Amino acid sequence: MQSLPYTSDNETTGYDEYPRYPIETLVDNGGDCEDTAILAAALIDAMGYGVVLLRFPTHMAVGVKGSDSLYGTYWTYQDQRYYYLETTGANWEIGELPPTYKGMSAQIFPMTPVAILTHNWESSVKGNYLELKVTVNNVGSAIAENVYIYSGFDAGNNQCWNSQRSQPFTLGVDESMVATVYLTPPVDKHTRILVQIVYQGYSVDESYSKWFDT
């Protein structure tokens, strides 16, 4: 992890802040401190070791769970010691804190399982209706409850014509499901199809068709 090139978000993504998923950091072959910390924490967690993220005002690092007999700088979370691990720059040992961050306070973020929802869909004409077959996937590490599909025809200004909402459903880890949605196209409109996957009150994944005239 420490050998990956350090690249800033505004140079590589165009955003001031863009936390990458672990796989993105591997594919991009680098990232900033939060990217390599997230990747390191994900790998340490997958190997069965206790780990947290340590957030400083201008930096992010990893805390690795260790016993009281270890030497080094640590933070306590739920009565357990988590020793500092730097992921930017080479040859930093567990418990070795860069001088820049001595005396600074850090926020602790545990590795909490989350649901990550993705989708794809295809459409076909059924008489006066448009039939959408929407496949929703949970590629995260937690069950997603009360998920629903919102779809309609884009009217601009965050409005939709003839929108429909599916019944809520639950998706387990690594599960997928297919839902059928029927839409009535508006008359004489320049529009496109909008599909959103809504979870915990937020659109967590969305897609659009190309623009067309009805």
Q: Does 13 share its domain with 103?
A: yes
Q: Does 71 share its domain with 87?
A: yes
**Does 192 fall in a domain?**
yes
Furthest CA-CA distance within the chain: 74
User: The tokens of 5 are what?
Assistant: 């090139």
Write out pLDDT tens, residues 17-73. 677 888 888 888 888 899 999 999 999 999 999 999 999 998 999 999 999 999 999
Domain end point (choices 58, 84, 110): 110
**CATH code of the domain containing 195:** 2.60.40.10
3-state DSSP assignment of residue 116: coil
Question: What distances in angstroms separate CA 213 from CA 122, 154, 185, 193, 198, one per listed residue?
Answer: 18, 12, 10, 11, 27
Residue among 88, 65, 68, 89 nearest 77 (CA): 65
Q: Does 104 share its domain with 134?
A: no
Prediction pTM value = 0.67
**Does 2 fall in a domain?**
no
Residue among 119, 109, 187 nearest 148 (CA): 119
Range(s) of the domain holding residue 60: 9-110
Amino acid at 100: T
User: Are residues 146 and 115 in contact, defined by beta-carbon separation less than 8 angstroms?
Assistant: no
Domain end point (choices 110, 141, 158): 110
Q: Does 89 share its domain with 45?
A: yes
Write out pLDDT tens, residues 71-108. 999 999 999 999 999 999 889 999 999 999 999 999 99
